[in-house]
Amino acid sequence: MIVVLKQNPNPDQVEGLVNWLEGKGITIHRSIGENQTVFGLVGDTSALDIGLISALDIVEDVKRVAEPYKEANRKFHPEDTVIPIGNTTVGGGNLTLIAGPCSVESEEQMVGIAKAVKASGVTMIRGGAFKPRTSPYSFQGLGKQALEYLKVAKQETGLPIVTELMDISQLPLFDDVDVIQIGTRNMQNYDLLKAVGRQEKPVLLKRGMSSTYEEWLMSAEYIMSEGNPNVILCERGIRTFETYTRNTMDICAIPVLKKLTHLPIVIDPSHATGRYALVPSMAMAAVTAGCDGLLIEVHNDPQHALSDGAQSLRPDKFDILAKNLISLHNFTASLPPMQFD
């Protein structure tokens, strides 16, 4: 951590700060410039509160040098995390395809789509049971009933289930769920993160719609620090000034996170773009950039979808896409490596 002092700081206050830091086991390296004095703090600075130090009258600025996350940090865990789920694994060079409807509407719909996407090569199914909708007057999901339909789809196809948990109180209903999704609006719902950190199922953690990489990894850290190491990060578009697409899909999150963390990274091009016509090219681009998997909305009849239909593909179109994604993944794996860092 680096502490930049104001010009001509009160010497007593400077010594007060030095003593306080040394009392916490921190060693201080001083750089005294023409206009500015800078302290380099050495030791375990993760216990120090930046806000506290910034508040001091003599301090102009404080910057962290070391990342504040530990469990999620590749520096301390260089090997990729690989998460076994049912008969498949996420991470470690596999391409995990997760597909299904935005909302579970009926057993027939869910089982039908699950069978169709399985035939296209999908290894996990998704479907919304509890739906976080902007409006209280919009359809909020079938809830418990939807979880029953997902269970049937799992029994019929053998594919594991991913579905969203919105509140701790729903957890007892998730016995047959294989991966718990935490949605973008709950990425910093810390009590919920702690709760899923205290249970054993893998967690798919969506990026908050305006969260930085560091904040996202700190939310993963909340889960991991409670004991659950199986976190899958999911980029789903960030909020920018552009309004043509629902969000701006940040593909660069893939190589950045591959550097910063050992956790697997999955991309959701359906929510990121909000337009199904953009999903294929963005899904393909994500595979090329090195993602560990994709979460894609597929619907048997978008004309009658109850939510988010605009971003769903039909199974016949998804089938072409899925096969192209798998071909592309195999092709890129065969290219000469370009590890430059």
Please count the other Cβ atoms lying within 10 Å of the Cβ belonging to residue 299. 26
The yes or no reply on residue 273 touching a copy of itself (CB under 8 A) is yes
The yes or no reply on residue 43 touching a copy of itself (CB under 8 A) is yes
Please check whether residue 292 is in contact with residue 257, taking contact to mean a CB–CB distance below 8 angstroms. no
Q: What DSSP element (H or E) covers 105?
A: none
**Residues of 247-259 as b/e, b for ≥16 C-beta within 10 angstroms?**
bebbbebbeebbe
Q: How many residues lie near a copy of itself (CB under 8 A)?
A: 121
- Nearest Cα residue to 184 out of 202, 204, 167, 207: 207
Give me the least distance between CB of 80 and a copy of itself, in Å please: 16
Stretch of 87-95, 114-122, 171-179, 313-321 lying at the interface with a copy of itself (CB under 8 A): 313-321
Could you tell me which residues come within 8 angstroms of residue 196 by beta carbon, excluding any fewer than 6 positions away?
165, 171, 180, 182, 203, 223, 228
- Nearest Cα residue to 238 out of 214, 196, 271, 195: 271
Stretch of 109-117, 120-128, 145-153, 308-316 lying at the interface with a copy of itself (CB under 8 A): 308-316
The yes or no reply on residue 38 touching a copy of itself (CB under 8 A) is yes
334 token code pair: 């065969």
The yes or no reply on residue 333 touching a copy of itself (CB under 8 A) is no
- Compute the distance between CA of residue 139 and CA of residue 235 in angstroms, rounded to an integer: 25
107/226 with CB nearer a copy of itself: 226
- Compute the distance between CA of residue 235 and CA of residue 220 in angstroms, rounded to an integer: 13
Please check whether residue 171 is in contact with residue 195, taking contact to mean a CB–CB distance below 8 angstroms. yes
The yes or no reply on residue 317 touching a copy of itself (CB under 8 A) is yes
Out of 98, 238, 263, 295, name the contact with a copy of itself by CB under 8 A: 238
Between 96 and 135, how does the x/- string for binding to a copy of itself read (CB under 8 A)?
------------------------------------xxxx
Between 10 and 29, how does the x/- string for binding to a copy of itself read (CB under 8 A)?
------x------------x
The yes or no reply on residue 332 touching a copy of itself (CB under 8 A) is yes
The yes or no reply on residue 73 touching a copy of itself (CB under 8 A) is no
Question: Considering only residues 178-207, where is the footprint of a copy of itself by CB under 8 A?
Answer: 185-186, 188-192, 194
Give me the least distance between CB of 156 and a copy of itself, in Å please: 26
Out of 241, 263, 270, 329, name the contact with a copy of itself by CB under 8 A: 241
Out of 22, 24, 25, 63, name the contact with a copy of itself by CB under 8 A: 63
Torsion (CA) 108, 113, 114, 116 in degrees, nearest 10? 120
- The greatest distance separating any two alpha carbons of the chain, rounded to the nearest whole angstrom, comes to 75
Phi, psi of 273 (to 5 degrees): -100, -35
Out of 169, 172, 175, 200, name the contact with a copy of itself by CB under 8 A: 169
Out of 11, 78, 136, 172, name the contact with a copy of itself by CB under 8 A: 136
